[in-house]
Amino acid sequence: MQAATPTHPNNSKTAVVIYSGGMDSFTVLNRAIADGFKVYALSFHYGQRHSKELDCAASVCAELGVPHKVVDIRAINTLLAGSALTSDIDVPDADYAEGNMQATVVPNRNMILLSLAIGYAVSIDADEVYYGAHSGDHDIYPDCRPEFVEAMNTVSKLANYKEIPVRSPYLYNSKDEILADGLAMQLDYSNTWTCYNGREKACGKCSACRERLAAFAQHGLTDPIAYE
C-alpha cells in the first residue's frame, strides 16, 4: 500500500485519528501522516450492522505500522436506538440526501467518539485529534456541521490541562475533493469499506455506495473494490 510521505520526517508531533476504515477516514489517516504527525489510530465498535470497516482499518494499520486500538462500546447501543446503522431498520437505497438519510443518524455519536479520542490523546500526550467530517454530511448529520466541530474544538481545549485541538481537515470539502487529495497522495482505496451493508461485496445501491461511486466517476476512475 502506498502511504503518504510525512512533510516533517521527524514526526515531532502526535495525533489520534478516529479511523473507521472507510474511504474518508482512510484519507484523514494518511493526511495526518503527510502533515508530519506520528499517528495513533482509534476505531470504535459501537454496535454498527457489520465489522467490515473495522477489518479494513486493522489491515491498513498493520500494513502501515500505525498503532491501532479498537474500542468496544457496544453497551451504549441500549441508549442510542433508532438508527438504521445500529437497529433493525432498513438502510435506505437512495441518493445521499437529508430526506432519506436521517434514518442513518446515530444520536450524538461523534460527540461520544470525540470525547473518547480526546481522552486517549491526553493519556498518551498527543497533540491533536483528527476526524473525518466533510461538507456532504452537513445537512444530514448534526454532529458533522462546522458549528459542532468548532464547539468541540473549544470544549476540548478547555476540558484538560493540555489543550487538544480537534482537526477536521476536510470539513469544507466534498467527497470527490477528499478523493482528489487521496489520489494526490497516491493512496490505494482497495482496502476501504463504505457500504452500509456488510456482505462480501458492496451493494452499490445504498447512499454511501452511491456517493462513493460518484466521487470516483467524477475523476474518471473505477472504484477498486468489488460491487454486487
The 166-167 sheet, strands edge to edge? 68-72, 37-45, 13-18, 128-130, 166-167
- State the chain's mean pLDDT as an integer: 86
The domains found in the chain, sorted by start residue, are 13-91+106-188 (3.40.50.620)
Rounded to two decimals, the pTM is 0.85
Q: How far is CA 45 from CA 24, 54, 151, 211, in A?
A: 17, 8, 25, 23
Say which amino acid occupies 96: Y
In this prediction, residue 69 has a pLDDT band, given cuts at 50, 70 and 90, of very high
Query: Residue 11 has what pLDDT?
Result: 61
Query: Residue 86 has what pLDDT?
Result: 46
Cell of 83: 438508527
| 61-70, 87-96, 116-125: least confidently modelled range | 87-96
Query: Residue 132 has what pLDDT?
Result: 92
Q: Which comes out higher in pLDDT, residue 7 or 201?
A: 201
- Could you tell me where the DSSP H helices lie in the chain? 23-34, 52-64, 98-101, 109-123, 146-159, 175-184, 207-218
pLDDT beyond 70 at 168? yes
Residues 6+ positions from 16 with CB-CB distance below 8 Å: 39, 40, 41, 42, 117, 118, 120, 121, 124, 126, 128, 129, 130
